[in-house]
Structure 1
Amino acid sequence: MGPSGAGKSTFLDGLAGRIASGSLKGRVSFAGTEMSPSLIKRTSAYIMQEDRLFPMLTVYETLMFAADFRLGPISAADKKQRVEKLIEQLGLSSSRNTYIGDEGTRGVSGGERRRVSIGVDIIHGPSLLFLDEPTSGLDSTSAQV
């Protein structure tokens, strides 16, 4: 959508309500209905360019941690079911027990890491997703998945 420094991330931050109120002017509307920043925040997920995952957790543990944190007082069985479904949908079945890893510890591939990061932010079932360069740093094969 534009070269580096063109303002893509800033535009996305503005739409998602991640910029301090009062520093931007304008309205966001959907299907003719104005959307308040608080409504957008409640019904959306923002997936940043940089992954922030715990390297010593497995894919399954990472998503279960996110489910525990984001889903609140639903049963453990329902959380597990939701995580299992998400692992399947994101194509992470073969790496479910693989550590996330970091520079010092071998872990999941770059594409798998990106999908885990997306999974962490969509576990609660948002209606709207903001993805800031979701394929950044991936090779063409990983980006296509």
Structure 2
Amino acid sequence: MGVSNSYLLKAEVQHLLGVNAFGMWRLVRKYDDFPTPTEHPNLGGPFRDREPDEVWDGGQVSAWAAGTAEFTHCGAVLLRPLPEEFAPGRWAGYKDTVRGPALDWQTALGVIRIVHCADGRVATDVATDITG
């Protein structure tokens, strides 16, 4: 089983972190460990006409956010610091999605959705749409 990377355009990084263009500029100067842009290995689709400095590895950005106090709430759920006291997760329901069945668990960190993807592709579209 391989690991999939999601590449993000600048606007997507800004949306993930809840900052505007100036806020993004500020992050690069404020945090020495802010992920640097990377070259997308297969420049196709929305990345076709992009310069390498306009694409970020989404996993790196999400992991960085989880470990940065100002952006912990935006980062990867499973990388966030654990609360001092927390209860086991509670079953929050099941939902059929376009990618396959989704199982939701309510935890101290928030809702964790597990998507059993039938087509072997990344299911981030339905995994992050907890309301849908």
User: TM-score, normalized by length of structure 2?
Assistant: 0.28
Higher strand share: 2
Higher helix share: 1
User: TM-score, normalized by length of structure 1?
Assistant: 0.26
